[in-house]
Amino acid sequence: MRLDVKPTTAHLMIPGNCAFRCGYCAQAAGSTARNALSRISWPTFEDEEVLNSLSRRESLFQRVCVQVVHGRDWVARALDAVSALSSLSLPISLAARPMQADLAEKFFDAGVDRLGLSIDAASPGIYEELRSGCLERDLSLVEEAAERFRGRLSTHLIVGLGEREDELVRVMAKLNLSGVKIALFAFTPCPGTKMAKHPAPDYKKYRRAQVALYLIERGMARDFEFDSKGQVTFFGRDWEDLKPILEPSAFMTSGCPGCNRPFYNERPSRRMYNYPRPLSDVEFEEELRLLESAMVK
Ligand code: SF4
């Protein structure tokens, strides 16, 4: 088919009935949006067909990522999938909920290259409400795994679940200190989920989150300032100092190496949250203008 941008990671999902009720997730218990995750539909194929197809097209990809749905037997099913995919020469990522380091070790031993332990919600209150869990406890699990398997952990953070930007920045800085690679996502309302009517985030908010992550990951973050609603008003530098240190990669998809997730959160006809390819000069200038307007107090 015609593709504006090709995916550089092959994303697979192990289907199942999830035990969790995350309000934003199409795979959650109670969701009626079957075979979907974010705005992408995931058609079902037999394992063998997937493996044969992937082995003929390995050169198209830089990575393969297995998305886990936390149903019954998810550990055994994920280990089986990893073992089958190990016959390919592609590095394997496995995206799952935060887990104990001992379980993480099983996945690494089975052939996983990187574990993506998703935090998703950066606000303690929203975490409890949407994920029925404790943010601090799950952050500790990710940090413990990151400590034991240095440089092999990723996480997902979703912008637009209702969190404040100061909460996002705190979680990003904390996880970055442990060497966790952060993949930013824009909340995408999915029909059939509890949050189907919740709006996608404002682009300005998303750009501020991307710039915060860009500065934190490069060790260039200085004291950020926030307003009373937690919104970033100042990145520790005047615009004249900030602009020259920003590169187009600030607005590109973040996460595991080789994961570009084209149009995962956005329609091809609309402005992108995550650019899945290098920006043109015109696009970069346009995003800088948007960011500058997003910094006006
Ligand atoms: S960043 Fe991409 S490859 Fe890594 S776990 Fe997330 S979706 Fe998978």
Q: Is the pTM of this model over 0.85?
A: yes
- For 130-184, write each residue's pLDDT tens digit: 998 999 999 999 999 999 999 999 999 999 999 999 999 999 999 999 999 999 9
Pocket-testing residue among 154, 213, 274, ligand 1, by greatest number of atoms within 8 A of Cβ: 154
> Within 13 Å, how many C-alpha atoms sit on residue 96's CB side?
28
pLDDT above 70 for 205:
yes
Q: Rounded to an integer, what distance in angstroms lies between the CA atom of residue 249 and that of residue 23?
A: 31
CA distances from 218 to 9, 63, 213, 256 (A): 24, 24, 8, 16
Ligand 1 pocket test target in 12, 66, 114 with most atoms within 8 Å of CB: 114
Is 164 in contact with 201 (CB distance < 8 Å)? no
* Residue 112: strand, helix, or coil: coil
CA of 255 to the centre of ligand 1 (A): 6
CA distances from 294 to 57, 106, 160, 275 (A): 42, 44, 16, 18
Check residue 297 and give its pLDDT.
59
Q: Which numbered atom of ligand 1 lies nearest the CA of 65? A: 8
Q: Whose CA is nearest to atom 4 of ligand 1?
A: 256
Please tell me the distance between residue 241's alpha carbon and the centre of ligand 1 in angstroms. Answer: 32
Amino acid code (one letter) for 250 = A
pLDDT at 194 over 80: yes
What does the pLDDT look like over 65-88, one tens digit per residue?
Answer: 999 999 889 999 999 999 999 999
Domains along the chain? 9-294 (3.20.20.70)
Tell me the CA–centroid distance for residue 264 and ligand 1, in Å: 12
- 3-state DSSP percent of the chain in helix, strand and coil, to 5: 35, 15, 45
Nearest CA to ligand 1 atom 1: 255
When pLDDT is cut at 50, 70 and 90, the band that residue 127 belongs to is very high
E strand segments, 15-167: 36-37, 40-41, 63-68, 92-96, 114-117, 153-159
Bridge-based pairing state of the strands 153-159 and 114-117:
parallel
Give the tens place of pLDDT for each residue, 227-284.
999 999 999 999 999 999 999 999 999 999 999 999 988 888 889 999 999 999 999 9
How far is 216 from 121, CA to CA, in rounded Å?
A: 18
How far from chain centre, in Å, is Cα 170? 17
The single-letter DSSP state of residue 133 is S
Q: Which of 113, 156, 260, 265 best tests ligand 1's pocket when mutated (most atoms within 8 Å of CB)?
A: 156
